[in-house]
Amino acid sequence: MPTMLEVTGLGHRYRSKDGEHIALDGLSFDVNAGELVCIVGPSGCGKSTLLRSISGLIRPTSGQVRLHGDVVDGVPSDLAVVFQDYSRSLFPWLSVQRNVEFPLKKSLDKAERRERARQALEQVGLAGAAGKYPWQLSGGMQQRVAIARALAYRPALLLMDEPFASVDAQTRFDLEDLLLRVRREYDTTILLVTHDIDESVYLGDRVVVLSKSPARVVRTLDVDLPAQRDQITTRESEAFVALRSEVARLLHGQPAGDAPTGNGRPSAGRAPAKGKTGTASSAGSTAASSAGSSSGSSEKAASAKAQPSRNGQAANRNRGKGNGAKSRRRGRARR
Ligand SMILES: Nc1ncnc2c1ncn2[C@@H]1O[C@H](COP(=O)(O)OP(=O)(O)OP(=O)(O)O)[C@@H](O)[C@H]1O
């Protein structure tokens, strides 16, 4: 599979009147076309900063992001973002159908937009809610609308910033399975950020583990689970349990075990990152217990507000239907 996204030596430091804060420190990793790569890291480590840099919303202070080989310098037109805060990413005054159609306005005529939105809503199980308004829907349904909008846009790369962190556990499971299904159907390339270790292993073809702030790549792990996953048997499997333990160890800064490793880049952290201090604030399945409570939250919300207009430059691309995760992994170039 060709490389879709190349992140090389990415660094970002915020400057304010209180001084400097290094958020990202020399991150390198690749995402191949058709892959679902999860980024997992402790709360406040810089995950949202990473996604903002990749999406061109902020300019990194060092390093480079390339999409299809082109340096990202501004928001690419064939990229969509789904944020955690669904309530602020949908337009409350537009119907569900209109919300999904919104990013397609510039590229498709009315009939095509309608049809594209209808298909996407059907994919996420919301065909019957097209005429409703976001505020008439549950949180999980609103997040489905946000996913439908991103899918209708047919982005080359879908970025997801803790997309299921604001919904209850059962809805989260449902949305995870929905994502795996639509990802197979649309053959979408996805980079998903989460602080939830189990989620990263359940969803990912690979998991990139970040250290605590400033974010560095501690390790990239191959997720050698069957492409077809389900919430009970997959999570009970030995391979799943071994992988989640491995990710937890890495987040706690402990030496790695025998779980499979792999990524595109030597610098992406086969060896532990310098100052290997990655940690989690609590034991268990989350890398941190306070996601969303950092000072980054308000900026996240601001970014969420900007989402519809970012998606406004729709790219009308028809892409081929999917190879499975297995074949994607087989085809993955190693360096
Ligand atoms: N605009 C900003 N100005 C200054 N510092 C910032 C800014 N945005 C984020 N930061 C800081 O950069 C660090 C990384 O923030 P970021 O939101 O990227 O982390 P995160 O891993 O997404 O957090 P969380 O898990 O809580 O969502 C934090 O210490 C945060 O306070």
Q: What is the pTM of this model?
A: 0.78
Distance 197 CA to ligand 1 centre (A): 19
Give the confidence band of 289 by pLDDT, cuts at 50, 70, 90.
Answer: very low
Tell me the pLDDT tens digit for each residue of 111-159: 999 999 999 999 889 999 999 999 999 998 999 999 999 989 989 999 9
In this structure, the residue with its CA closest to atom 4 of ligand 1 is 14
Give, for ligand 1, the residue of 49, 61, 164, 194 to mutate: max count of ligand atoms closer than 8 Å to Cβ: 49
The more confidently predicted of residues 166 and 25 is: 25
> Which ipTM value was assigned to this complex?
0.96
State the burial class of residue 177 (Cβ atoms within 10 Å of its Cβ: 0-12, 13-18, 19+): middle
Q: Which two tokens stand for residue 108?
A: 């498709």
The more confidently predicted of residues 205 and 291 is: 205
Distance 227 CA to ligand 1 centre (A): 33
Tell me the pLDDT tens digit for each residue of 222-256: 999 998 999 999 999 999 999 999 999 999 887 65
Positive or negative: CA dihedral 177, 231, 325, 30: positive
Structural Rg of the chain based on CA atoms: 19
Residues near ligand 1 with C-beta < 6 Å?
A: 14, 16, 21, 23, 41, 43-49, 195, 213, 291-292, 294-296, 299
Distance 206 CA to ligand 1 centre (A): 24
Residue type at position 54: I
Distance 312 CA to ligand 1 centre (A): 26
What whole-number distance in Å separates Cα of residue 145 and Cα of residue 102? Answer: 12
In this structure, the residue with its CA closest to atom 2 of ligand 1 is 14
Residue type at position 256: A
What whole-number distance in Å separates Cα of residue 64 and Cα of residue 27? Answer: 10
pLDDT at 273: 35
Mean pLDDT computed over 288-294: 33
DSSP conformation class of 72: P
Ligand 1 atom nearest residue 295's Cα:
31
Q: Which two tokens stand for residue 256?
A: 């790695």
The more confidently predicted of residues 273 and 8 is: 8
pLDDT at 284: 37
Q: What is the mean pLDDT of the chain?
A: 79
Q: Where are the domains of the chain?
A: 3-331
Tell me the pLDDT tens digit for each residue of 87-99: 778 999 999 999 9
pLDDT at 268: 37
What whole-number distance in Å separates Cα of residue 204 and Cα of residue 131? Answer: 34
Give, for ligand 1, the residue of 22, 47, 61, 216 to mutate: max count of ligand atoms closer than 8 Å to Cβ: 47
Does the pLDDT value for residue 324 go beyond 80? no
- Secondary structure element (H or E) that encloses residue 71, with its range: strand 70-71
Give the helix ranges, DSSP H, for 262-320. 296-310
What whole-number distance in Å separates Cα of residue 155 and Cα of residue 96? Answer: 19
Distance 212 CA to ligand 1 centre (A): 11
CB burial of 204-229 (b: ≥16 within 10 Å; e: otherwise) equals: bbbbbbbbbbbbbbbbbbbbbbeeeb
Q: What DSSP string runs through 9-43?
A: EEEEEEEETTEEEEEEEEEEEEEETT-EEEEE--T
Query: Of 206, 202, 196, whose CA–CA distance to 268 is shortest?
Result: 206
Does the pLDDT value for residue 264 go beyond 70? no
Give, for ligand 1, the residue of 12, 14, 53, 286 to mutate: max count of ligand atoms closer than 8 Å to Cβ: 14
What whole-number distance in Å separates Cα of residue 211 and Cα of residue 196? Answer: 14
pLDDT at 319: 35
In this structure, the residue with its CA closest to atom 12 of ligand 1 is 23
CATH architecture of structural domain 3-331: 3-Layer(aba) Sandwich (3.40)
Task: Name the percent of the chain lying above pLDDT 70.
Answer: 76
pLDDT at 257: 57
Residue type at position 300: K
Does the pLDDT value for residue 294 go beyond 90? no
Residue type at position 36: L
